[in-house]
Structure 1
Amino acid sequence: MDDFTSNDTACVFTYNAFFSNMTNITLSNDYLFSFDAIHQLQGSGISHDFTNDSALLDVKFEFIIIGYLTPTNMANVTQTCVFRHWCQRSNIIQSKPAQLIQEYDIEDFTQVNVYEFINWHQLNQSCPAFTISTLVKDLISDSTNNDIINLSSDQKYLQLNNMGVSTVSKYNISLNSTNQHLANVTFFYINVTDRCKNNNIIKSQLSNKTYTIADDETTYIYSPWSHSVVNCGTLTYSIQYIGKSSFSNFVTIDSATGQIKYKSNSNSDAGYYEFKVIAKGIGKNYQTSAEEIWTLDVIPIATSQVVNIGPPHFTSFTNFVRIKVNETFSYRIPSSYDPDNDEIAMFVYIGRALGFA
C-alpha cells in the first residue's frame, strides 16, 4: 500500500477495503476478490481468483481502500478492476509491413496488389481466429471510399482497382485485425494521381509547299508533334481540305506519322490548295487535339512538255536470224527509248513464218 505514508515514522497503518458501495469484500463477491486480513498491517492489498464466467467480461469493479492511523485519522484511495479475456494478451503479428506511401496514376493504371498478407498470425493459437477488415479514408474529401479496395479471391492480397478521374485523391488505408477480444491496426497511404490532366499537344511549324504536275510522288516530312506529358496516349493524324475549289484527293496523310504525300499527272489539279492538318491524342481518360493550316501550290506542266513528239524506238534490231536444228539460240531484246520520255510497254510474240525453204 505505497499510497499511504505518514510524516511520523512511528505511526502504523491499518488497512481495510470495500466495494465502492461500501460493501465488505469478504461478504460480497468473495469468490472473486479477497483482502488479505492476515497481512493487513503490511497492506498486501486486494487479490482476485481465476474465473471463466463470460458474464464478467468487461465488467468494472471499483474499490475503496482505507488506511487508518486511528479510528478518526484515516485516508482512502479508489482502485478499479475490469475483467478481460486472456486472448486480449495474444498479440496479432503482421509479418510484412506495408509500404507506407504508394503512388499510382490513373492513365497507366491496371489492377495492382498494394499489400500482401504474409504469415499473419497470433501468438496464442487457442484464441478465436482473427478476421481482417479494411477502411479507406479519402483525406481530401474527408469521406470513406471502400470501393477502390478489395481482397483478392484467394484472400492473399489487398488490391487497388476502379481507378478513374473521380478517384484522384489521397487515401489512408487501415487494416484492422481482430480475434473478438484483441484488435490490431496497421495503415498506409495511397496517392492516386492524374498526370495527363494538363496534357496538350506540342506542334511543330509546317512549311507551305510547291509542287509541279507530273513530278514524282513527294513526301513532306516535318518534325513530329508530341504530347507535353509523356505516356498520355497516342497521336493520330488526319488532313482536311478547307479550300473552295474542287479537289481530287491527290493529297494524303499517314495517320500514324503525319507524313503528307502528294502526286498528280493532270493539269486539272493545278491551283492553290489549303488544308487543315489535325492531330488527336487519345488516352485512357482524356482526348486532346491540335490543328495547323498547311497550303500546297500546284503548278501545271508546260504544254510543250506534254505534246507527243514521236513514238518509241528500239536502239537496234535484227530482222532475221537463222537457227539450225539441234542448236540453242539466245536472242537479246534490244533496249528502247521514247523521245518525250513516255512510259513504254513492250510485247513479244513468238510464231512460225511460212514460205521458207
Structure 2
Amino acid sequence: MQIEPFRLERWLAEVEVDADVMLAESGVRPLSADRFDTDPGELGYVIPTAGDSTFRAEIGDHHGRSADETLFTCGTQEANFLALLALADTHVVVVTPTYGSFTGLAESLCDVTRVPLEEPDWKLDPDAVASALRPDTDLVVVVNPNNPTGRYHGEETMRAVYERCADNGTYLLCDEVYRLLSPDPIAPVSSFGRYGISTGGVSKSFGLAGLRFGWLCASRGVLAAAENWKDYTTIAPPKFGQHVAEQAFDRRAELLAENREHVADNRAAVEASLDAHGLAWSAPDCGVNALVEVPPGFAGGYSFCRSLVTEESVVLAPGEAFDRPEWFRIGFGLHREELEEGLSRIEAFLARHS
C-alpha cells in the first residue's frame, strides 16, 4: 500500500516546534487538566475494547445509535481511518477542500472523485455529489462543519446528500468533530438512517486534543468491519482519555458554552484584522478555521507562510495542503493573548510587504 505524505502534518512538523505563535492550530485552546478528576485507577486496557458500554450508550444516543453501534477510538482521526478501511473498496467521493487524511488515505485504497464546494460561498451542492456517484461508489465523505473553510452545511443540505447516497446504496461519512461548537447543531448524519456514519471526538470542540479520544457511530455491519480493523491498530481506546472525556461530555453544556463564547470573540478579532488589510476570507460560521486569500506578491500559500514563519515566527497552514494554493488556513481557537500577538506580527509582516 502506497500513501502520499500528509502535507499539512509534514509542514507543521517542520516549522511548529521552533515558532513563537501557532496560528495553524485547528482546535479550541486546550483546557487545563485540573478541571477534571485525572485518576482513572489502574492503567489497564479498557474492557470491552470497544469502550465502556454505558458511555457508548450515551454517545450513541446523542447520535441516533445504540451502544452496539458506537465504537470508541484514539481520536477522530482513527475513527475516520477505520471507517475508510472498512468501506473504501472501489470508489469514494470526497467533498473538498477537506482535511488531508481523507483524500490521502482514500486515494491509497481506491478510485477517488473530488467534488469541490461552490465558491465564493463554499456551499455544498447535493446534485454535484449525486453526479459524482457511480453504481459501485462505496462512500461519500463530508467534513461538516468544514475544515478548512469553517462553513457549516445546513441540515436540509446534508439530508439531501444523504438521500442521494442512500438511493445509490452508498454510505455517507460525516466528520462532525466541530459540530458541537454550533449553538444550534444540526442532527448527526448517523441519525439519518442505515447509510449514515458520524465521527467525532473531544479534541476540537471541547479543547481536549491531548486525550486522543473519539468515536465512530454507524450501523452494526459497519461497526463490525471497523472493529476488525481496530484489532490491528490500537485495540482499545485510551483509558485515561475515556475517563476524562466522560466527565467532559457530562459537563458539555458548561464547557461548550464557554468555548463558543471564546471562539466568537476570537473570530471577531480575526475578521477585524483581515478587513483592515482588505483580505478576503471564507467567512466561517462554525468552528475555529478559515481560509484567507494570499496577498499579492507571493507565489502561493507555501511562499507566504514560509516567509511569515521566517520573518515573524508565526505558523499558518499553506493552502497547498488543501489543494487551494491561492489561500492559507488560519486557526483562531487559541488563547486570546496568543491570537493577538500573532495577528500583530502578521500585520507588521503585511505592512513591510505591501
Shorter-normalised TM range:
under 0.3
TM-score (norm 2): 0.16
Looking at secondary structure, tell me which structure has more helix per residue: 2
Looking at secondary structure, tell me which structure has more strand per residue: 1
Report 1 or 2 for greater relative contact order, CA contacts < 8 Å, sequence distance ≥ 6.
2
